[in-house]
Structure 1
Amino acid sequence: MNNDVYILNDRAILYINGTDAKDFLQNLISNDINKVTENSSCFASLFTPQGKFLYEFMVVKHKSGYFIDCEKSQSEEVFKQLNLYKIRSKVEILNLSNEFVVACFGYEKYLSIEGSKDILGFTFKYREDPIFLDPRNKLLGARLIINLEKLYLSLKKLSLKNSKINNYHIKSYKLGIVPKNFNKLKNKLFGIECNYEELNGIDFKKGCYVGQENTARIKLKNKLSKRLFPIEIIDGKLNENDTIFANDTEIGKVLISEEYPFALVKFLDKNFDKNKIFKCKNGSIKVLIPDWLEKSS
């Protein structure tokens, strides 16, 4: 069994509390807050009113409120965005990133811990701190949200050994799930184009939320013609916003170019073939389609 643990110091923790916290989140996020209980956490996003991607995060029940586990580089923006919608709601929004940390470890290790269940998003307490199986894909393992002061004692009790965060990012990228640099995606594509339906991040049965109308229209009218895919550099160099060509036909655009590259690709275009090598301005790439996405198609 792999006992590696990744301290995700590129993640931040916000806390939303107050009488209206549940309704406040329900009116904003792409998933159904009613799924979030002491025993269940969810993956969700904030979209623009037009349905474009803004931010993604985990939502975890904690005491009388909710933890928001988001990318640290976006945390101040998420904090401001939530406060923008606060208006007269009886809600308190706190940034607890200096107090809490996110640690991630493998799926098999998670199953070995007493109280775990093999259910996406399943949540239980370990010494009063929430552990949950990643709601997007179980191969991403489980997350522990814990007070920094308690972190290393808990890791010791769980027999977990610290591993480089890059190893987690590589695992996520190979699964076809964006690990970082979400600012590169902001306002560049629709939330549904991020594969959030397949990653359990959009609920099409819940009521209204910001961006719901366009998201539902794309789904119901079968207008999803582009998707976000990981890409592999075959040779040369990639730049952000590079156009991807199949011969002389544009079939995509590079959105994230460094480290773990992703592109928005016209996967239904007659010129797209997942087995082909495509050209960019200064290089060539291959589009990688994740197994979980092929199975859901």
Structure 2
Amino acid sequence: MNNSVYILEDRSILYVNGSDAKDFLQNLISNDINKVTDNSSCFASLFTPQGKFLYEFMVVKHKLGYFIDCEKSQSEEIFKQLNLYKIRSKVEILNLSNEFVVASFGYEKYLSIEGTKDVLGFTLKYREDPIFLDPRNKHLGARLIINLEKLYLSLKKLELKNDKIENYHIHSHKLGIVPKDLNKLKNKLFGIECNFEELNGIDFKKGCYVGQENTARIKLKNKLSKRLLPIEIIDGELIENESILNNNVEIGKVLINETYPFALIKYLDSNFEKDKIFQGKNGSFKVFVPKWLKI
């Protein structure tokens, strides 16, 4: 069993509480807040009114409110966006990033902890702190949200050993799930094109939320023709926003070009070939389709 733990220093924790917190989040996020209980957490997103991607995060029940586990580079913007929507709602939004930290460890290690269940998003308390199986994909393992002062004692009790965060990012990218640089996706694609349905981040049965109309229309009318797919660089480097061509036809665009690259691909186009080595302006690369994405 792998006892590695990754301290996700690139994550932040916001806290939403108050008597209107549940309804407030339900009207905004792409998933159903009713799924979030003491025993269940969810993955969700905030879209523009047109359904374009803005932010993604985990939602975890904590006391009378909800932890929002988000990428640190997006945390201030999410904090401002939530406050913008607050208006007269009885809601308090706090940034607890200086107090709480997120740690991630493997799926097998998670299952070895007493009381866990092999259910995506399943949540239990470990010494009062939530541990939950990643709601997107079990191969991303579990997360622990914990007060910084208690972190190392809990890791010791769980017999977890600190590993490099880069190894977590590499693993996530190989799975085909964006580990970082989410701001490079902002406003550039629809939320449903981020594969959020397959990653359990969109609930099509819940009522209205920001961007719901377009998101539902794309699904119901079978208009989904592009997907966010991971890139494996063979040599050289990628340029952000460069076009991906095959047979002189544009079949995609590089959105994240750095260490863990992704592109928006016209996956239904006959010019898209899954195992082809594509030539970019400054390098060559493959676009691969993750196993969990049945396309």
- The interval holding the TM-score normalised by the smaller chain is over 0.9
Identity %: 85
Paired position in structure 1 for 2:288: 288
RMSD, matched Cα: 0.6
Local SS of the residue matching 1:6: strand
Report the CA distance between 1:279 and its aligned residue: 2.4
Unmatched 5+ residue regions in structure 2?
none
**Kept after mapping to 2: 8 A contact 1:49/1:210:** yes
- The AA in structure 2 aligned to 1:280 is G
Paired position in structure 1 for 2:263: 263
Deviation readout 1:49-72 (Å, 9 max, x if unpaired): 000000000000000000000000
CA–CA separation in structure 2 for the residues paired with 1:107 and 1:237:
33
CA–CA separation in structure 1 for the residues paired with 2:139 and 2:56:
19
Local SS of the residue matching 1:177: coil
CA–CA separation in structure 2 for the residues paired with 1:279 and 1:218:
31
Matches within 5 A, 1:193-232: 193-232=193-232
TM-score (normalised: structure 2): 0.99
Report the CA distance between 1:235 and its aligned residue: 2.5
CA–CA separation in structure 1 for the residues paired with 2:65 and 2:228:
32
Deviation readout 1:222-257 (Å, 9 max, x if unpaired): 000000000111222211001000120000000000
- The AA in structure 2 aligned to 1:169 is H
Local SS of the residue matching 1:293: coil
Deviation readout 1:139-163 (Å, 9 max, x if unpaired): 0000000000000000000000000
Paired position in structure 2 for 1:240: 240
Deviation readout 1:136-193 (Å, 9 max, x if unpaired): 0000000000000000000000000000000000000000000000000000000000
CA–CA separation in structure 2 for the residues paired with 1:167 and 1:236:
22
Matches within 5 A, 1:274-285: 274-285=274-285
Paired position in structure 1 for 2:175: 175
Local SS of the residue matching 1:278: strand
Deviation readout 1:243-291 (Å, 9 max, x if unpaired): 0001200000000000000000000001111021222222222111000
Local SS of the residue matching 1:156: helix
Aligned length: 295
CA–CA separation in structure 2 for the residues paired with 1:258 and 1:49:
29
The 1:247/1:279 distance shift into structure 2, 3 A limit, reads: farther
CA–CA separation in structure 1 for the residues paired with 2:235 and 2:116:
44
Local SS of the residue matching 2:293: helix
Deviation readout 1:15-40 (Å, 9 max, x if unpaired): 00000000000000000000000000
1:26 aligns with 2:17: no
- The AA in structure 2 aligned to 1:132 is F
CA–CA separation in structure 2 for the residues paired with 1:285 and 1:205:
38
Paired position in structure 1 for 2:136: 136
CA–CA separation in structure 2 for the residues paired with 1:13 and 1:29:
17
Paired position in structure 2 for 1:40: 40
Paired position in structure 1 for 2:85: 85
Question: Once superposed, which parts of structure 1, at least 4 consecutive aligned residues long, lie more than 6 Å away?
Answer: none
- The AA in structure 2 aligned to 1:61 is K
CA–CA separation in structure 2 for the residues paired with 1:62 and 1:235:
45
1:4 aligns with 2:15: no
Local SS of the residue matching 1:78: helix
Local SS of the residue matching 2:25: helix
**Kept after mapping to 2: 8 A contact 1:57/1:70:** yes
Unmatched 5+ residue regions in structure 1?
none
Paired position in structure 2 for 1:66: 66
CA–CA separation in structure 1 for the residues paired with 2:235 and 2:279:
10
CA–CA separation in structure 2 for the residues paired with 1:151 and 1:275:
43
Deviation readout 1:75-119 (Å, 9 max, x if unpaired): 000000000000000000000000000000000000000110000
CA–CA separation in structure 1 for the residues paired with 2:143 and 2:263:
27
**Kept after mapping to 2: 8 A contact 1:243/1:281:** no
